[in-house]
């Protein structure tokens, strides 16, 4: 066989092998799709832990790509493992860490990505990751405290619903049959007793209508909330109506201050930081105030004056921001404001819980007591009838 023929044969075999062997990118895509299909959902707590671990590794001197590969190897969540591997692959292909984050907008919001961009531009990625981790840990801590504070009232409400349902579906029908057998079917029941029996009958035999009414209320509320006017109305109620209004306002001020301060301290330009803070505010009226602040700052004004003119934030907050601007320590002052209001939120949640618990217990006692009284009224009539005989 000639040398030319041998070379052509080897070349043909090599081409065939390439066709049979999938490219690394294709294999990665295939693996990624499997992870997304069968992995557990990625929650905020998981992203917070990832950010903290990445900050530790980068600050220890490990290159970002190697840090991501290390975290990917130890990640138990298949879906998140694929995401981390894609981030490492993006850097391996010549891109930045922020470029990889942009491919996952549902997991990493604008605040996260812009802070990473600022850290990369300033050569302080480890410092920014540490600040970002602290920011996310603080937010998770507050969220956890609110959830734990509301656990007991939710349990009480659930128990109350179960008890009332059992009374309405099981107990009251039995008493109704006893009353009719002893007093006669044509005997007129006391008004309260008749009302309770009618409600019991409706729940038993018209439960589809009950479910439809509840579903209609929920669906109607969602439609109303999806409209511009509905969103503004609901957000206004959340900020103004006691006792939840003051709590939500404090939480919003704390979130605004910590977000804005973290972005500024990470090197994000002030106008961009205002826009990102606006998008993460969670309330349309606070977003409007920050839009006004953005326009005024763009024209050369400071932050404190337009923020005070918006009449959303307390004067103490705007005064502290003004002092921070005058002294050139605005990020530190915003962090102090956030710490103050986070502590106030903790205290307010505890106080609100202590108020809600007795109110719910009293309400539960009132409902059950009303049902018991309604059942005793015919029993009194039965005793009178038996005494007359």
Q: What tens digit of pLDDT does each residue of 288-324 get? A: 999 999 999 999 889 999 999 988 889 999 999 999 9
φ, ψ at 311 (rounded to 5°)? 60, 30
Q: What tens digit of pLDDT does each residue of 125-161 get? A: 888 899 889 888 888 888 887 787 778 888 888 888 8
Radius of gyration of the chain (CA): 32
Task: Supply the DSSP symbol for 108.
Answer: S
CB under 8 Å to 238, separation ≥6 — which residues? 244, 245, 248, 283
Q: What tens digit of pLDDT does each residue of 8-57 get? A: 443 444 444 444 434 333 333 333 333 443 557 888 889 999 999 999 99
What does the block give as tokens for 363?
């309400």
- Check if the beta carbon of residue 135 is closer than 8 Å to that of residue 146: no
Alpha helices (H) along 268-312 = 270-279, 284-298, 304-309
Q: How many CB atoms sit inside 10 A of residue 340's CB?
A: 17
Query: Could you give the CA distance from residue 59 to residue 44 in angstroms, rounded to a whole number?
Result: 22
CB under 8 Å to 52, separation ≥6 — which residues? 133, 137
Highest mean pLDDT among 84-88, 115-119, 238-242, 260-264: 84-88
- Check if the beta carbon of residue 307 is closer than 8 Å to that of residue 297: no
Q: What is the structure's pLDDT at 39?
A: 57
pTM score of the predicted model: 0.68
* Location of structure tokens 């950010």: 51
């Amino acid at each position: 066989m000639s040398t030319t023929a041998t070379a052509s044969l080897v070349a043909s075999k090599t081409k065939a092998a390439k066709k049979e062997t999938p490219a690394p990118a294709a294999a990665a895509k295939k693996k990624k799709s499997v992870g997304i299909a069968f992995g557990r959902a990625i929650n905020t707590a998981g992203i917070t832990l990832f950010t903290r671990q990445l900050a530790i590794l980068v600050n220890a001197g490990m290159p970002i790509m190697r840090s991501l590969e290390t975290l990917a190897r130890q990640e138990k969540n298949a879906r998140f493992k694929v995401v981390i591997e894609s981030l490492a692959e993006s850097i391996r292909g010549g891109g930045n860490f922020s470029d990889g984050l942009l491919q996952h907008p549902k997991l990493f919001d604008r605040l996260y990505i812009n802070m990473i961009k600022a850290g990369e531009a300033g050569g302080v990625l480890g410092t920014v990751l540490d600040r970002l981790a602290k920011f996310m840990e603080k937010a998770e801590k507050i969220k956890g405290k609110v959830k734990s504070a509301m656990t007991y009232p939710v349990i009480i409400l659930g128990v109350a619903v179960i008890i009332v349902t059992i009374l309405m579906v099981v107990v009251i029908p039995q008493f109704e049959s006893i009353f009719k057998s002893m007093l006669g079917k044509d005997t007129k029941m006391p008004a309260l007793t008749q009302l309770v029996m009618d409600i019991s009958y409706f729940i038993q035999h018209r439960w589809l209508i009950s479910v439809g009414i509840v579903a209609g209320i929920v669906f109607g509320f969602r439609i109303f909330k999806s409209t511009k006017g509905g969103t503004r109305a609901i957000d206004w109620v959340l900020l103004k109506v006691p006792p939840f209004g003051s709590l939500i306002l404090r939480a919003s001020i704390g979130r605004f201050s910590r977000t804005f301060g973290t972005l500024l301290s990470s090197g994000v330009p002030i106008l961009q930081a205002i826009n990102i803070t606006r998008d993460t505010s969670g309330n349309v009226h606070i977003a409007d105030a920050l839009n006004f602040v953005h326009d005024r700052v763009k024209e050369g004004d400071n932050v404190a004056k337009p923020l005070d003119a918006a009449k959303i934030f307390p004067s103490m907050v705007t005064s502290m921001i003004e002092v921070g601007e005058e002294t050139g320590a605005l990020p530190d002052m915003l962090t102090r404001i956030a710490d103050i209001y986070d502590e106030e939120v903790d205290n307010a949640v505890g106080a609100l819980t202590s108020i809600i618990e007795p109110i719910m217990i009293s309400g539960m006692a009132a409902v059950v007591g009303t049902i018991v009284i309604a059942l005793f009224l015919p029993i009194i009539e039965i005793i009178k009838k038996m005494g007359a005989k």
